Structure 1
Amino acid sequence: MVEIDLLGEVHARVGGHNVELGPARQRCVLAALAVDVNKTVSVTQLTERVWGDEPPARARASLHSYLSRLRQAGIELATRPTGYALVADESSVDLMRFRKLRRENKLGDAIALWRGEPLTGIAGEWAQLTRDRLNEERDAAELDLIDARLQLGRGPELLAAITAHATDKPLDERVAAQHMRALAQAGRISEALDQFHALRTRLRTELGTEPGPELKQLHEKLLLCNQEAPTAIPRQLPSAPAQFVGRQEDLAELDHAVRTGVAAIAGAGGMGKTWLALHWAHRNLHRFPDGQLFVDLRGFSPDETPMDPDVAIRGFLHALGLDASRIPPDPHASAALFRSLVARKRLLVVIDNAVDAAQVTPMLPGGDTCKVLVTSRNRLPGSIRPVGLDVLADRDSSTLLATRIGATRLNAEPLAVARLIDLCGGLPLALSIVGARVLTEPDLSLAAIARQLEELGLGALDADPSVSVPVVLSWSYRALTDRQKKMFALLGIAPGEDIDLNAAASLGNMSTKDTQEALRSLEQASLISISSGFRARMHDLVRAYAADRAKHVDSEEALRRLVDHHVHTAHANDRVIDPLRPLIALSPANVDVTPAADKAGALAWFDAERGTRRAVQQTAAAHGWNDSVVTLARVSHAYHQLRGHLDDELTMWQAAIDAAEDPMDRIVAHRIMGTSLGQVHRYDEAQAHLDSAVTLAEQAGEPLQLADAHGSLAWLWASRSEYQRAFEHAQAALPHYLETGNQMLIAMAHNNIGHCAAEIGETSLGREHATRALDLLHELGDRRGEAIAVDTLGRVEHQVGNHAEAVVLYEHAIELYRAENDDYTTAKVLISLGNSHLALEQHDQAARLWQEALRMLEQQGREDEAERVRKQLAEIHVTPGS
């Protein structure tokens, strides 16, 4: 019996004995026939396979000689009319056995047949082309085998091999999918998502393409696995308009349009689009028990660029209860996550002031249970059902005026009322301003007011708001006092959507009492609206007019005061939130600052000013006030971390990096940017920023900055489970912290070394440093720091097998964490405590602790960790929740 091997060095055996195959071309003849065993290979084909397109003159004679020698060696070769064939059982050729096993899905056995590079020992073009094709078959079989093993959940043990495949084939989508699945099965879903983003970037850059549908589906599935289950029911709608009148036909049309899923109210500025949308939304709240989302895209704001859809989507995800670290950085991915999360919810999404369909489309939810209401000055094409909004009918205009001036005065001068309605063109904004002005002129007849408007040029204007509203505003503006005019003009240039009383006082350089009076007067004139918390807001048409009036005041000095107000107030409230943070040196305040009385009040101030603070930072950057740009990022850092607003953190620290002039500022900016990027799993970018921080700190020779940079790198590597590298940076940080003399920082540096040492098996060293940290933190009275150090000691004792001692330490850590209201870390330590009880074979205690941890994790939306606890409970045969 003959046996022929092609999947490695070409080799043959006859009757179990090796056959000498002679020179390379004789081996090539055998291989050329064996790949088509029992099939005729023509003389021409055989010659080309052995010698190529230009065989020598004696090629045919040489071929006969090679065939004869192979026959003499015991290999059966049949002569056919057109050529030759190798006659043998197909199973005698390893290539054929490989293909048969692959068809039978015996992939492990199939791959085991390979002994190296196929057709080894044979040269030539045919051999190389065949070798490449056979390698592709082998690669495909290996990928099939990996897929089969991944289906069995064996990703963790395959991860090293798959990672090597992915490195070798960075553009192969199938390999990328396997890499993502293996990472996910190893509990590293965030890294799997990072791999998708990396591949997508490569495909776009190198091939100009996007990932295929299968990879995108896997990506969306992993996004859902990675997200924290939303626990919040968003209630973002602003209050319903108090003086809404008429629009019954528009409301009926809106009822019908919303049934299709997405409706858009289109109309000119000042037409009442937002009022109609909010009135309809509040009237239909019962239809949306899963909540309401609202965003103003600022598509027509005179002093701001329209909001990027990704920013709005991230805001929606925050409102749904997701932590920023679980929101993917890629806009397409975050949009996909949003669609997936709300696909089966009965949710209303109100999108105000959209520029065009391109701004809206990424924000549209999936499924058919959510409804979307859009307002825009433009008609939005596509699948969005339009509801065109026109001016108010005369009757509705009269009703709106009556709500402002009273029916008695309205009925007293019907002809003048008709003229005012004509002059205002049925525009609700113009009618509201006129009605407010009438109230301030009780002795002036409506006819006289109409004549004033006509004298200003408000004639038959065909309801063009670009003409009629400025004329009405100019008429109303003339009636303001000088103080009111100044405040009105400055509000037009104030950054952000709204402004609070104290900030407005700084802007206008007035007392809060005078500012409050001025704002109330502007509200009575319908030039601004004042919401809860005494926050003033302007319609964008009014803002544009007011900004034009700001040309006549010292606007730059006013903006400087406003920026200073935010810098100093944020700094004061930051000290309330985290009084142990190092002091930040500020220039003397030229504005009054009143910090909050407690942490809750400080957080509430930051919450209210969240969007405005970014706009204020942009204003500071535009004016070159670079110190303020950096300081605003620094004093917002603790708030961003507590609230999980990592998108704001990244935006503000990028601005700080761009603005930083002082070397220390640049170090801090790169360091915090790096840690923030690490929190959202953008590890390569994080590494680059932290490396820059170390380099700059080394150049500056400043010990605290160098220590913090190494400490941040230790954290980054630990978050990637690279504890050896984390340990090296933790050790490098300590000498620099010692130079600073700051005992709290020194204590935490010892704890970091202890934690990393324990993770790499250096338990004695870990115990030594964690104990030192605990002693220092106890002396300092830092109870949360103590909890961290005790937690580390518990980890050390558990690893060395002192489980009873670990139980005692973990219980003490939990007691300390609970005293600090740190539910997040408490849940983690409860799991560790359960592990120690399990090691002591105390299954009931372990189950009880894991049940408690599971409830906390579910309440906090930490689904990945919750699922791991459920598996732990299942392994000891306990049903979660029992």
Structure 2
Amino acid sequence: MTDQAVDTGGVELSGHTSQGIEFLGRTRELKELLADIERAGLDTLAGRKAPRARVLLIAGRPGSGRTALAEELVRQVAHRYPDGVLRARLSDPDGTPVPVARAARDLLAELDLPAPAGAAEDDLAAALREALADRRTVLLLDDAADAEQVDALIPDTPECLVVAVSQGPLTGIPDVRPCTLGGLDTKSAVELLSRHTGSVRITVDPRSAEHLVEECQAQPAALVLAGGWLAARPMAAVADLAKHLRAEDGEEIAGTPLSRVFRLVYVSLPVPAARILRLLALAPAGYVDPHTASALAGCSVSTARAILDDFVVRGLLHPVRSPLPQYDVPGALHPLLRALTEAHDKPAELQLARARMLERTVRLLQSCRAITETDSPHARAKLLGMPRSLRFPSPRAAADWLRIRRPALLAAARLAVADGELDTLARRLLSQLVRALVAHFGTQAAAADLYGIHQLVLDVAERQNLPRERAAALLNLADLDAQTGRTAEALVRYRAALDAGREANDPYATGRAMESVGGAHEELGDFDRATDWYGRALVQRLARDERADAARLYGRIAAAHTYAGRYGEAARNWRAAVAGYRKLGDLAAHARALSELARVQEYAGRPEESLRTCQEAVEWARRAEDVRLQAALHLRIADTLDRLGDSPAAGLHRSAAERMLGEELQESEQEGDPEDPQPEPAANACEIRSTSGED
């Protein structure tokens, strides 16, 4: 996913923009595409309103400038679409298609719209189409692998425009005429070359420049590399490069113009730089930063930064507009880099480079999380023990790094798990990534990313036969399912987590799973099964003398009985919860449990008994200094007194509640943190429908 895209000399940047450069050539293609927007579609000719957005297809090989043309087209028509431009890349640099679910989720995020964690691909695509139904937006889908990817994302409104970039036709999408790209016209190709070499060498020998363009078949990516080769050799003539290309047989690398120029550039590099260039094929999602290059090559960060900047000059990398130094490996070069690694590097060396990169990423994530733990002396000591290059100057800088590097970090996690031979490092990476995301963004904001990470953890746990980790991953996934309303799916995963916990002989996982199974049944309205599973979990907690958990479970059993209308059983279990919290000395939980007991007594038609319990709860809430609970209890007492016909006493309790809430609001405002003055219902520390936040 990206919000940027291309070098405007017709050079494909694999999804990132180099702004401020005049676009070259492609006049005929642009004219055809602009005319195609206005062309009447088949539905219009048939007298029907077009049901979907118009799709324009720009087809060409990587390196032909197809993304550059798409970006220029979007720039020229953007004023017609006031709701802006959305961009998605539908293939990774190695050619792997991006799942539609990931693309749709990222597009929804660009629109600042929620996308439930773990939602199905069809649901996410439908949510995107619904979001675009009342907008006028351009959707640029770069490097589409097939028609199915594009079709799922096409808005169901003719007010939007889809610009798709692909290597070939999108068979199956109706009313799409491809604009197929070849080379640039000679004038534009020569001008593109001169931008890198300077105008003098072109002016003194224009014929050689034209010959060089012919050798490159006017392909933009090849011309940029040729210009970079010449820029690195101020004394070389344009004719020298054209001569080298004619002599290059291209046997070791496929004999396209791009591959032949690339080979000349590669063999001219110093050995350390050439090795770093080859290893960039391992960079996750084609994103490179100095730390990634440093870890892959085993060199210092400053050395890696200098080499990466030199690669930019040579046209081998493109800088990404970012507060941090970042670069992008052009998609057209990725297969050439991969071929070089296969030819020159042993598998063991590549595996070692991957391991170094993952280890560096793990340490950066550790540093990223540790800087948020300002109150922990252990975390501060650990942070100070790290090399200076791995430390962040502030929590804000760490959060910015995490946000900017997020696509690369998630790609690194996916690649580490897919590798299959670095599972120990993969598990550490996944663990640190989860902790960093939660520390900086919170569980809810990072839920979608966490869902994917937990799925990767589950893959590793199943492959390595690690039942304890399998149970943890299943519990985390089930929690996210439950939070997004997929309770039936959550129940299946909770049961699987219970089996894994039993296999691992892990009492925490089994107890947590049993309680969560009960919570899922309760959410589904099956209160008998809910109380049964809560009871099983309670037996285990009591056997292990886990008193706080046992008291909480008494409350959950009581809540399920309350929902089922079994008030006698509910009251009995609330009394057990009250006794448990009293023994623990938890004043706040004691007061809340009494509050819930009073509620059940009121439901059971015993208002006098409920009134006495409420008054007792007020006293415990006062001891716990829980002003809001006290106010809520006073309001409940007032309602009960009204029903009993004692209106003057009810008024006194309401006045007391209003006074308490007013004082709390005043204190909050003085502290600079005003809160809603309206009374909240008494929160129930025991009645939890989904998995306990403590777990």
TM over 0.5: yes
2:558 corresponds to: 757
Q: C-alpha separation between the residues in 1 aligned to 2:67 and 2:626?
A: 52
2:415 corresponds to: 619
Decide which of 83, 96, 101 is 1:310's aligned counterpart: 101
1:630–1:413 Cα change, 3 Å: same
1:283–1:387 Cα change, 3 Å: same
1:319 corresponds to: 110
Alignment size in residue pairs = 581
What's the CA shift string for 1:480-532, capped at 9, x where partnerless?
A: 11121111100012332313322222111111111101111111111111212
1:454 corresponds to: 246
Question: Under a length normalisation based on structure 2, what TM-score does the superposition of the two structures give?
Answer: 0.71
1:572–1:678 Cα change, 3 Å: farther
- Alignment of 1:277 onto 2:70: yes
Q: C-alpha separation between the residues in 2 aligned to 1:295 and 1:439?
A: 33
Q: C-alpha separation between the residues in 2 aligned to 1:257 and 1:831?
A: 65
1:729–1:549 Cα change, 3 Å: same
Secondary structure of 2:135 counterpart: coil
Of structures 1 and 2, the larger Rg is shown by 1
Extract unaligned runs of 5+ from structure 1: 1-233, 780-785, 817-829, 850-882
2:353 corresponds to: 558
Q: C-alpha separation between the residues in 2 aligned to 1:254 and 1:789?
A: 71
What's the CA shift string for 1:47-88, capped at 9, x where partnerless?
A: xxxxxxxxxxxxxxxxxxxxxxxxxxxxxxxxxxxxxxxxxx
- Alignment of 1:388 onto 2:180: yes
What's the CA shift string for 1:762-795, capped at 9, x where partnerless?
A: 367548748977998989xxxxxx8x99988876
- Alignment of 1:710 onto 2:514: yes
1:578–1:814 Cα change, 3 Å: farther
1:753–1:418 Cα change, 3 Å: farther
- Alignment of 1:648 onto 2:438: no
Q: C-alpha separation between the residues in 1 aligned to 2:625 and 2:4?
A: 41
Secondary structure of 1:317 counterpart: helix
What's the CA shift string for 1:688-728, capped at 9, x where partnerless?
A: 33223223323433333333333443443454455665555
What's the CA shift string for 1:78-105, capped at 9, x where partnerless?
A: xxxxxxxxxxxxxxxxxxxxxxxxxxxx
Shift of 1:737: 6.7
2:499 corresponds to: 695
The one-letter code sitting in structure 2 at the alignment partner of 1:663 is P
Shift of 1:568: 3.8
Shift of 1:440: 1.0
Q: C-alpha separation between the residues in 2 aligned to 1:749 and 1:576?
A: 36
- Alignment of 1:292 onto 2:82: no
Secondary structure of 2:332 counterpart: helix
8 Å Cα contact 1:630-1:659 kept in structure 2: no
- Alignment of 1:677 onto 2:481: yes
1:798–1:263 Cα change, 3 Å: farther
8 Å Cα contact 1:270-1:465 kept in structure 2: no
8 Å Cα contact 1:718-1:756 kept in structure 2: no
Question: What are the equivalent positions in structure 2 for 1:477-496 lying under 5 Å apart?
Answer: 477-496=266-285
8 Å Cα contact 1:505-1:511 kept in structure 2: yes
Q: C-alpha separation between the residues in 2 aligned to 1:319 and 1:836?
A: 49
Q: C-alpha separation between the residues in 1 aligned to 2:292 and 2:476?
A: 28
Question: What are the equivalent positions in structure 2 for 1:520-599 lying under 5 Å apart?
Answer: 520-531=309-320, 532=322, 533-551=324-342, 552-553=344-345, 554-574=349-369, 594=390, 596=392
Secondary structure of 2:283 counterpart: coil
8 Å Cα contact 1:258-1:372 kept in structure 2: no
Q: C-alpha separation between the residues in 1 aligned to 2:176 and 2:454?
A: 33
Q: C-alpha separation between the residues in 2 aligned to 1:526 and 1:630?
A: 36
8 Å Cα contact 1:235-1:291 kept in structure 2: no
1:501–1:283 Cα change, 3 Å: farther
Secondary structure of 1:264 counterpart: strand
1:337–1:324 Cα change, 3 Å: closer
Question: What are the equivalent positions in structure 2 for 1:52-201 lying under 5 Å apart?
Answer: none
8 Å Cα contact 1:351-1:373 kept in structure 2: yes
Shift of 1:534: 1.9
Q: C-alpha separation between the residues in 1 aligned to 2:74 and 2:635?
A: 48
- Alignment of 1:351 onto 2:136: no
The one-letter code sitting in structure 2 at the alignment partner of 1:594 is L
- Alignment of 1:248 onto 2:27: yes
8 Å Cα contact 1:714-1:730 kept in structure 2: yes
8 Å Cα contact 1:423-1:458 kept in structure 2: no
1:791–1:372 Cα change, 3 Å: farther
The one-letter code sitting in structure 1 at the alignment partner of 2:412 is V
Shift of 1:542: 0.9
What's the CA shift string for 1:613-657, capped at 9, x where partnerless?
A: 443334333232223343444334453733221552454244234
The one-letter code sitting in structure 2 at the alignment partner of 1:391 is G
What's the CA shift string for 1:651-682, capped at 9, x where partnerless?
A: 42442343343332232223223323334444
1:239 corresponds to: 17
2:404 corresponds to: 608
1:813–1:426 Cα change, 3 Å: farther
The one-letter code sitting in structure 1 at the alignment partner of 2:85 is Q
Q: C-alpha separation between the residues in 1 aligned to 2:389 and 2:531?
A: 44
1:494–1:572 Cα change, 3 Å: same
1:259–1:320 Cα change, 3 Å: farther
Shift of 1:386: 2.1
2:222 corresponds to: 430
What's the CA shift string for 1:138-163, capped at 9, x where partnerless?
A: xxxxxxxxxxxxxxxxxxxxxxxxxx
1:340 corresponds to: 130
8 Å Cα contact 1:750-1:772 kept in structure 2: yes
Q: C-alpha separation between the residues in 2 aligned to 1:366 and 1:833?
A: 54
The one-letter code sitting in structure 2 at the alignment partner of 1:309 is V
1:418 corresponds to: 210
2:55 corresponds to: 262
Q: C-alpha separation between the residues in 1 aligned to 2:581 and 2:114?
A: 30
The one-letter code sitting in structure 2 at the alignment partner of 1:564 is E
Shift of 1:548: 1.6
1:395–1:360 Cα change, 3 Å: same
Extract unaligned runs of 5+ from structure 2: 6-15, 40-53, 380-384, 563-569, 603-609, 641-649, 663-695
Q: C-alpha separation between the residues in 2 aligned to 1:539 and 1:688?
A: 43
Question: Under a length normalisation based on structure 1, what TM-score does the superposition of the two structures give?
Answer: 0.57
Percent identity at matched positions? 20
1:809–1:726 Cα change, 3 Å: farther
- Alignment of 1:634 onto 2:431: yes
8 Å Cα contact 2:530-2:560 kept in structure 1: no
Secondary structure of 2:221 counterpart: helix
8 Å Cα contact 1:240-1:279 kept in structure 2: no
Shift of 1:559: 0.9
The one-letter code sitting in structure 2 at the alignment partner of 1:433 is L
The one-letter code sitting in structure 2 at the alignment partner of 1:366 is D
Secondary structure of 1:372 counterpart: strand
Q: C-alpha separation between the residues in 2 aligned to 1:728 and 1:496?
A: 48
Shift of 1:340: 2.0
The one-letter code sitting in structure 1 at the alignment partner of 2:280 is L
Secondary structure of 1:444 counterpart: coil
Q: C-alpha separation between the residues in 1 aligned to 2:134 and 2:219?
A: 39
Q: C-alpha separation between the residues in 2 aligned to 1:365 and 1:579?
A: 47
- Deviating more after overlay: 510-519 vs 701-710: 701-710
8 Å Cα contact 2:511-2:537 kept in structure 1: yes
8 Å Cα contact 1:458-1:471 kept in structure 2: yes
- Deviating more after overlay: 404-413 vs 608-617: 608-617
Q: C-alpha separation between the residues in 1 aligned to 2:487 and 2:20?
A: 50
2:298 corresponds to: 509
